[in-house]
Amino acid sequence: MQSAVERAIDTMWNRYHEPLSLDDMADTAILSKFYFSRVFRTLTGTSPGRFLTAVRLTKAKQLLLETSLSVTEISYMVGYNSLGTFTSRFTRSVGVPPARYRALSFGGMLSLSSFSGPANGTRAGAVAGWVGVPETGTPVRVYVGAFKDPIAQGIPVACDVRDGAGPYRLEAMPEGKFHLRAAVVAVDDLDPNPSKRRPLFVGATEAVTVWTGRTAEADIETRASCALDLPILLALPELDTRNSPDAQLAVPSPR
């Protein structure tokens, strides 16, 4: 079944600009649409439609940073017939509107300070643990973020950055349940263009409950990323502007 789902995902990447329906995607997997939907969710953790949306928005981010096309032109190029729908989905999933995403990136200011976080007075606890990384023989940077949704999109509630495997700590978190996600990139291959950064490894935990005045514990083991992994719409490496001389840093210094 994995190969069938991978065929469907390959179709999404190659035909994201087309009005792909559930039937179309199921046909590429050679499965009934109901069985396809169930298997797809089991293997990827999300629905085919949401995965396709993530692919389209990932392509939109690339076009915003790599071309001078207008937001309207890009919206149609990635499969949207409505500029309003595209803008609202991009903003909800990436954290800022398309035009602002482009402006912040070109200005070297795409960092956590670019976004609004939880209201003052709601921050309460912390999460700490160990993040494991497979041996690579090359320096790597690790990004750990806490998200309200199982899918890593939008702005993390809290994040930490460190070099290599080791302890991490997410401070000043509000009470509630959060999903931890980790992305690992090669330091020597950290592309200055955020849209081209791809994690070598990814990791995740089940929901972690945060309480006022307490530190929850959660270890994260990372693994090689694969085709079944949903694109991280605001990849944690994008928040790391330390390699840009004009950037305003808003993430912790690597440990």
Domain ranges within the chain, ordered by starting residue: 2-106, 113-239
Distance of alpha carbon 190 from alpha carbon 198, whole angstroms: 9
Q: What is the mean pLDDT of residues 148-164?
A: 83
Look at residue 242 in the predicted model and tell me its pLDDT. 43
Distance of alpha carbon 215 from alpha carbon 209, whole angstroms: 10
Q: Which of 41-55, 168-182, 196-210, 229-243 has the lowest mean pLDDT?
A: 229-243
Q: What is the pLDDT of residues 201-234, one digit of tens each?
A: 999 998 999 999 999 999 999 999 888 888 766 5
Residue 119 has pLDDT above 50, yes or no: no
Look at residue 190 in the predicted model and tell me its pLDDT. 60
Q: Which of 39-53, 121-135, 156-170 has the lowest mean pLDDT?
A: 121-135
Residue 240 has pLDDT above 60, yes or no: no
Question: What does the mean pLDDT of the chain come to?
Answer: 82
- Residue closest to 66 by CA, chosen among 184, 195, 179, 226: 195
**What does the block give as tokens for 223?**
């693994």
Residue 143 has pLDDT above 70, yes or no: yes
Q: What is the mean pLDDT of residues 142-146?
A: 90
- Residue closest to 197 by CA, chosen among 110, 130, 121: 110
How many residues in the chain?
255
Residue 97 has pLDDT above 50, yes or no: yes
Q: Which fold has domain 2-106?
A: Arc Repressor Mutant, subunit A (1.10.10)
Q: Answer whether CATH 2.60.40.1120 is correct for domain 113-239.
A: yes
Q: Which of 54-68, 72-86, 100-114 has the lowest mean pLDDT?
A: 100-114
Look at residue 55 in the predicted model and tell me its pLDDT. 92
| Residue 45 pLDDT class (50, 70, 90 cuts) | confident
Look at residue 108 in the predicted model and tell me its pLDDT. 52
Look at residue 116 in the predicted model and tell me its pLDDT. 42
Look at residue 107 in the predicted model and tell me its pLDDT. 60
